[in-house]
Amino acid sequence: MTEPLIQVKNLVKYFPIYGGILLKEIGRVHAVDGVSFEINKQTTLGLVGESGCGKTTVGRCTIRLIDPTSGEVYYNGENVLKFRGKQLNQFRCNAQIVFQNPHASLNPRMKIKDILSEPIRIHKLLPKNEIEKRVLQLINEVALEPSHLLRYPHEFSGGQKQRIVIARALALNPEFIVLDEPTSALDVSVQAQILNLLMDLQRKFKLTYLFITHNLNICRHISDEIAVMYVGKMVERASADELFDEPLHPYTQALLSANPVPDPEAKRSKIILKGEVPSPINPPSGCRFHPRCPKRMDICDKSEPPYIQIKPGHHVACYLYSKNES
Amino acid sequence: MTVNVLLSIRNLKTHFFTEEGVVQALDGVDLEVYEKEIIGLVGETGSGKSVTALSVMRLIPQPGFIVDGEIFFKGKPLHLLSEEQMLRIRGKEITMIFQDPMNALNPVFTVGNQIAETILLHNDVTYKEAFNQSIELLRKLNIPKPERIVNSYPHELSGGMRQRIQIAIGLACQPALLIADEPTTALDATIEVQVLELIKKLRDEFNTSIMLITHDLGVIAEMCDRVVVMYAGNIVEKTDVKTIFKQPLHPYTQALLEAIPYAEKKKKSRLTTIPGTVPNLINPPSGCRFHPRCKHAMKVCKTLKPMLLEEQPGHFVSCFLYSKNKEAAESKGGVFEPLPDRIIY
């Protein structure tokens, strides 16, 4: 049970910025700057952080939608970045992604039937006469009706579209699904339906999820482990309960205290951070959080704190917790 | 403490006359805003929160019209005013801040210019005085280096800063009512707290009433004094903030509260869901608009429309489950039996 399905080691992704008359490279967006984590089989890792912190880039790198600048991604112990040809095709079947905006993820000119059967046809998973049966099965899995198969995407609401996107991701019997903010475009009542569906599917098909979100409440609900990112770095990773009960990194603490709780009588001391999220084009020196950190020390702007394990399963990158402050 | 009604909306109906049919975006909204209070409007997409706000501002886009109802602001009937009279109220007495600060600011003018413009329009001052006032205003809002910020263009500022500029424009003439339409939805969590704290402070410093439109019940819990829950163009429940979270009466409010994943709730448990989706307002369900999704639906819910009645002191709810509406419906011959064979998908 506890063997990792996905292992990411020191993942780095820079996006070049071109400018000037000759369109030379004039800078780099440090989208992801040295991120390591692993996801165990049949568990969910929640990835939280503010916009621009690199969560989506991490998600896309792990299933190789984009190639990282450096670093390694292992799937079942094999290096994904070395996959070629057939092996890569097989990996594409095993790893799927669900995007944030369901309206933009479906081709408006295709019927739902065609949308769901397309991946099966491309990967030649089933003979032609069995595809229809599989499509019917898929539409049942996501609690839609067979009559919906002949419709076009614009005839559906946002929640139904997201169900179709999930059904399409399931079409190839994947083991690993990256969920990139699957509910942020949806209303609260529909969001609960989708979250329940995702949890049911995980149990039924033994799926492993990487759940990317900026909503901490949702993240705690669905995740086994939570990783917090800040400007391209992972600052803390722990089991969901531990992270909420005992956040160590000052950024995690601030993020948790900023999380609005639907209870008017909850008395909480809020940590209000000063300033803005820095730009990943020119990130601060040392610890990237130091300009906003309420517990800043002298060393923080000089060198980067190491990402270390404090307790079993609890990693943090902060000088408050590293023993040798050299 | 005497409470004075600042804004009162009576039976407001705003419809949009589109090619596909008449969208009944608001279907009889009753609402009042008291002085110095923060009132929260909460609901899902298409529930009519924004249309309510735009109706008050008389800024409903074509082809929408206020077809019925009254809006009184400080005793003045806003629904009867001419466009010229309305211009004098907008920006001075009632202001609005929008969800997306990038689209609300003009990209070719400096922000100082845009704040000064509002002051200049409603006050008898020179441009220079107005510009200096805008620096003062930014200082009051705790914006660092206001002298530098006023000379920058919107694209040079971050999302949170732009939202603060919008708030500054909104407050430039010290309005009596500020309508904030999802002011923090486009912002990150740590910036969201900053902006919410700022809005809270304003109420105390400027004595402004604030109508806060949001879909986030967490924000409601932290900010508001009273809450109005809307569903498909109707107000389903209206009460103070503590009661709404402790003792919600309407089945929609109850379901909505149960559907939010709570950080404190046990994880990996199933969330309670509301079956179905928000109805199409061109052809809304008959009777109570929530009845196709309601687990308590009765025959009467399909035939009669519940009214927003005061069930407990200060607690208004529009549902046939409660005594006031029940009595009213019984006199009209409503049948209180469960609805047979409902299809919910």
Instruction: Provide the CA B71 distance to its chain's centre, in angstroms.
Output: 15
Length of chain A: 326
Strands B38-42 vs B64-73: parallel, antiparallel or unpaired: unpaired
- Which residue, among A200, A221, A226, would best test binding to B if mutated, counting the most B CBs under 10 Å from its CB? A221
Portion of chain A with pLDDT greater than 70, in percent:
98
Q: Which residues sit opposite A212 in a β-bridge?
A: A47, A180
| B129 CA: distance to closest CA in chain A (Å) | 29
| pLDDT for A173 | 92
| pLDDT for B260 | 80
Interchain pair A262, B259: CB under 8 A: no
- Which residue, among A148, A151, A181, A188, would best test binding to B if mutated, counting the most B CBs under 10 Å from its CB? A188
pLDDT at B341 over 70: no
Average pLDDT over residues A198-222: 91
Q: How confident is the model at residue A268 (pLDDT cuts 50, 70, 90)?
A: low
Residue A164 amino acid letter: I
Average pLDDT over residues A183-206: 88
Length of chain B: 345
CA dist A235 → A202, A290, B42 (Å): 27, 12, 34
Q: How far apart are CA B215 and CA B47, in angstroms?
A: 10
Q: How far apart are CA A281 and CA A283, in angstroms?
A: 6
pLDDT tens per residue across span B265-319: 555 667 777 887 778 888 888 888 988 888 888 888 888 888 888 888 889 999 9
Describe chain B by its helix, strand, coil percentages, rounded to 5. Answer: 35, 25, 40
pLDDT tens per residue across span A277-299: 888 888 888 899 998 888 888 88
B216 DSSP assignment: -
| pLDDT for A326 | 44
Q: Is the CB of B142 inside 8 Å of chain A's CB atoms?
A: no
Contact B321, B236 (CB under 8 A): no
pLDDT at B344 over 60: no
**Which of A189-193, A264-268, B275-279 is predicted with the least confidence, judged by mean pLDDT?**
A264-268
Interface predicted TM-score (ipTM) of this complex, two decimals: 0.77
- Nearest by CB to A261, from B158, B263, B267: name it: B263
Portion of chain B with pLDDT greater than 90, in percent:
31
pLDDT at B38 over 80: yes
| pLDDT for B1 | 45
Average pLDDT over residues B18-26: 89
Residue A19, helix vs strand vs coil: strand
- Nearest by CB to B218, from A145, A262, A276: name it: A262
Interchain pair B263, A259: CB under 8 A: yes
Nearest CA in chain B to A253: B190
Candidate ranges A12-16, A49-53, B59-63, B262-266; pick with highest mean pLDDT: A12-16
Residue B265 amino acid letter: K
Average pLDDT over residues A9-21: 90
Average pLDDT over residues B144-167: 87
Average pLDDT over residues A256-265: 80
| pLDDT for B340 | 67
DSSP string, A226-293: EEEEETTEEEEEEEHHHHHHS--SHHHHHHHHHS--S-TT---------S-PPPTTSPPSSSTTTTT-
pLDDT at A258 over 80: yes
pLDDT tens per residue across span A301-319: 888 888 888 888 899 999 8
- Specify the residue for token string 């929609």: B252
Q: How far apart are CA B282 and CA B295, in angstroms?
A: 24
What are A7's two structure tokens? 């292992």
What are A96's two structure tokens? 């799927």
Average pLDDT over residues B53-71: 90
What are A53's two structure tokens? 């912190």
Q: How confident is the model at residue B195 (pLDDT cuts 50, 70, 90)?
A: confident
- Nearest by CB to A262, from B158, B160, B217: name it: B217
Please give the interface size between A and B, counted as residue pairs whose CB atoms are below 8 Å apart: 131
Residues of chain B in contact with residue A191, where contact means CB-CB under 8 angstroms, are 259
Task: List all residues 6 or more positions away from B83 whose beta carbon is below 8 Å from its beta carbon.
Answer: B58
Contact B234, B67 (CB under 8 A): no
Q: B3 exposed, middle or buried (CB, 10 Å; 0-12, 13-18, 19+)?
A: exposed
Q: Is the CB of A270 inside 8 Å of chain B's CB atoms?
A: yes
Residues of chain A in contact with residue B193, where contact means CB-CB under 8 angstroms, are 257-258, 270, 272-273
Average pLDDT over residues A67-80: 92
Q: Which of A99, A93, A91 is nearest to A122 (CA)?
A: A93
Average pLDDT over residues B211-233: 90
Interchain pair B257, A262: CB under 8 A: yes
Mean model confidence pLDDT for chain A: 89
